[in-house]
Structure 1
Amino acid sequence: MTAPLAVRAVADFLPETVAAVAELPELAELPEDRRRVCLELGIDRIRADPRYDAVGLAAGAAGKVLAETGASPGALVVIGSRAPERLMSSEATRLQALLGLGDALTFSVGGLGCVSLTPALLVARGLLAADPALDEVLVVHGSKPPTPRRYRHPVTVSGDGGQAVLLSRTGPVRVLDIVQVTNGAYWDLYTVDFRDRAQADWSEECADLRRYSFTLATEGRVRLRELHRELLARNGMSTTDVACYVSQNLSAGSLRFTEEALGIRLSAACSGNLASHGHLGPNDILLNLSAAIANGELPPGSRAVVLNASPVAAWSLLLVEHAGDEAKTHYL
């Protein structure tokens, strides 16, 4: 029997500075067809504050969750940023110092873009399984776009935000199961050519738009369906046993694509947070799950499926349960 895993608390740090997508300066540089695509993504505004780098955003969220819970986690797992401020330095230990967690086992994970929360959860589960003396693991991430341009054609608009997730063996949200699959054939589909370029000239480019919009989309539909069937089957469930589905915030089109691919209806929290915050990388899914719980879409005792995907390419699904009795332990 493996160790249990539960979300004890989640905190998000969203800068107060709001930018309307229609007023982003980069839109003036775009051809009319690309500008139109950007404005039809379903994203009205984002949080964008140059005062915060990825570490600052992560620290803001972590400070909130530590203050709210009084926790002193024995391990700190940092989901690395897409474009660190410095080479050869450590964002993970910088956060350790900022948070005053000098005794915490500290390291970083990542490499799967938006899906990088999944390996962080797997690592946390492994740490809790391996060390009975370890009671809490803190997972943090600061989401900051890798370039000055926030629009990633034709996918999404990225905002700023930090998130901290306090994980333990018990908690109000139990992680019942995790499935993930990757395909390295798409490892460089999106890239930023940065060497010998000023940061102002950095731009995230898709190597092959047809490959993204058609080939990867077709494979993504198949992968999500297979993972969905696997997740439900190995937990003895059908879609009628799922009270709520939650996905990431890319675009209104991507939300429709997921609904049509699986024959489901996503939580209203997804479209609401998409419009208000844009894409926040690995932070999207738990931001949306928290909102779904807050608005009553996932009442105590019910289960949700949380979907995530990344063009690197990776896909993952989580099965979670909103616990009525948070002291009860669920074993995976």
Structure 2
Amino acid sequence: MAELPETAGLGPAERGVALGLGIERVRADDSVDAVTLAERAARGALAAARLTPQDADALIVVESRAPQTLLSSEATRLQHLLGADRAITFSVGGLGCVSLTPALLAARGLLAADPATRHVLVAHGSKPATPGRYRHPVTVNGDGGQALVLSRTGPVRLLDIVQETNGAYWDLFHVAFRDRPTARWREECQDPAAYSFRLAIETRNRLRALLGGLLERNGMCPGDITGFISQNLSVGSFGFTEEALDVKLLPVCRENLREYGHLGPNDIFLNLYSAVERKELAVGDRAVLINVSPVAAWSLLLVEIGDLELTE
């Protein structure tokens, strides 16, 4: 973390915040773009499910925060690169890290609406929107690609999804880019007090209400949940989430934060599958995946670990 080029230009206060995030390293490769990362992940996910690109009935791309070009389609570019010619293809986004949730909602809708749809591929390539990776005072962005194959059977069952948004914060963080060279792009927080206090309080209240409603409508109580998983922003954000919900996050969250930093919408499923690999979750366990974005959006996913031998 201390070796990031922009760290040297930070003032003492900002540098202290950056070094206190709990992030030791990030993966970075400026030679690849978001679509390339998504393609690699998609091929890996299809292979793990013993499928080919031609088996994908739909391709949903979680859009990148800063596309390489305007007016072109990253979604159909990925379709072309994969050779997923049969797939209904489109992108979703606009909610930052929470943009994964509408992708899952759309995938669930496609599977429910059309019996002929068997496999929906969801993919995302995570790259920072600016040349700098440190996002004061939030996190440090790394590079990563992730893809999920959603089918009617599989090793993880998505039981329920809840999501809420508040448009009052739509421009709290932004990057002014028109008439500026890329080297001058900077992410700015319009109102640090709103982020640190007002949005924090609303986030606490929203998450408490969402979790209570999610469990109630599924006939569960907190004791029925084996593990809680959050996105990877900072050790401070983990502590905030644990205190707000009176839960303990699985240890893998802090480990992946140290090793990878923040990977946007990819965080929660990276943590979920890492928890399964580390045996922090086992067959039959249920977990709640917590995702928050300062736009502002909040989402919770309720999942159940099934037969890990299943490949669809």
Structure 2 length as normaliser, TM-score?
0.97
Give the counterpart of 1:149 among 129, 132, 137: 132
Q: Give the 3-state SS of the residue equivalent to 1:106 in structure 2.
A: strand
| TM-fit CA distance, 1:67 | 2.5
Q: Give the 3-state SS of the residue equivalent to 1:177 in structure 2.
A: strand
Q: How does 1:20-31 map to 2 (within 5 A)?
A: 21-31=1-11
Instruction: Show the counterpart of 2:262.
Output: 279
User: Which residue identity lines up with residue 133 of structure 2 in the other structure?
Assistant: R
Q: How does 1:55-70 map to 2 (within 5 A)?
A: 55-70=35-50
Partners in 1 of 2:309 and 2:277 — Cα distance?
Answer: 16
Q: Are 2:174 and 1:191 aligned? A: yes
Give the counterpart of 1:128 among 104, 111, 118: 111
Q: How does 1:39-188 map to 2 (within 5 A)?
A: 39-71=19-51, 72-188=55-171
Q: Deviations over 1:249-296 (max 9, x none)?
A: 000000000000000000111000000000000000000000111111
User: Which residue identity lines up with residue 222 of structure 2 in the other structure?
Assistant: T
Q: Are 2:207 and 1:224 aligned? A: yes
Structure 1 length as normaliser, TM-score?
0.91
Runs of 4 or more above 4 Å deviation: none
Give the counterpart of 2:249 among 266, 287, 294: 266
Q: Deviations over 1:176-227 (max 9, x none)?
A: 0101000000000000011111100100010010100001000000000000
Question: Would you say the 8 A contact 1:242–1:302 is kept in 2?
Answer: yes
User: Which residue identity lines up with residue 184 of structure 1 in the other structure?
Assistant: G
**Which runs of no fewer than 5 residues in structure 1 stay unpaired?**
1-20
Instruction: Show the counterpart of 2:233.
Output: 250
Q: Give the 3-state SS of the residue equivalent to 1:221 in structure 2.
A: helix
Partners in 2 of 1:247 and 1:73 — Cα distance?
Answer: 29
Partners in 2 of 1:174 and 1:293 — Cα distance?
Answer: 13
Partners in 2 of 1:175 and 1:304 — Cα distance?
Answer: 10
Question: Would you say the 8 A contact 1:170–1:326 is kept in 2?
Answer: no
| TM-fit CA distance, 1:63 | 1.5
Question: Would you say the 8 A contact 2:98–2:292 is kept in 1?
Answer: yes
Q: Are 2:192 and 1:209 aligned? A: yes
Instruction: Show the counterpart of 1:235.
Output: 218
Question: Would you say the 8 A contact 1:77–1:92 is kept in 2?
Answer: yes
User: Which residue identity lines up with residue 206 of structure 2 in the other structure?
Assistant: R
| TM-fit CA distance, 1:70 | 2.9
Q: Deviations over 1:151-189 (max 9, x none)?
A: 110000000000000001111100001010000000000
User: Which residue identity lines up with residue 304 of structure 1 in the other structure?
Assistant: A
User: Which residue identity lines up with residue 302 of structure 2 in the other structure?
Assistant: L
Instruction: Show the counterpart of 1:308.
Output: 291
Instruction: Show the counterpart of 1:10.
Output: none
| TM-fit CA distance, 1:103 | 1.2
Q: Deviations over 1:25-60 (max 9, x none)?
A: 101111111011000000000001001111011011
Partners in 2 of 1:254 and 1:89 — Cα distance?
Answer: 36
- Equivalent pairs counted in the alignment come to 309
| TM-fit CA distance, 1:324 | 3.4
User: Which residue identity lines up with residue 61 of structure 2 in the other structure?
Assistant: V
| TM-fit CA distance, 1:326 | 6.8
Question: Would you say the 8 A contact 1:189–1:208 is kept in 2?
Answer: yes
Greater shift after overlay, 292-301 or 150-159?
292-301
Q: Give the 3-state SS of the residue equivalent to 1:205 in structure 2.
A: strand
Question: Would you say the 8 A contact 2:49–2:149 is kept in 1?
Answer: no
| TM-fit CA distance, 1:68 | 2.7
| TM-fit CA distance, 1:69 | 2.5
Greater shift after overlay, 68-77 or 128-137?
68-77
Q: Give the 3-state SS of the residue equivalent to 1:45 in structure 2.
A: coil
Tell me how large the CA RMSD over aligned residues is: 1.3
The change in CA–CA distance for 1:160 and 1:325 in structure 2 (over 3 A counts) is closer
User: Which residue identity lines up with residue 96 of structure 1 in the other structure?
Assistant: Q
Q: Give the 3-state SS of the residue equivalent to 1:111 in structure 2.
A: coil
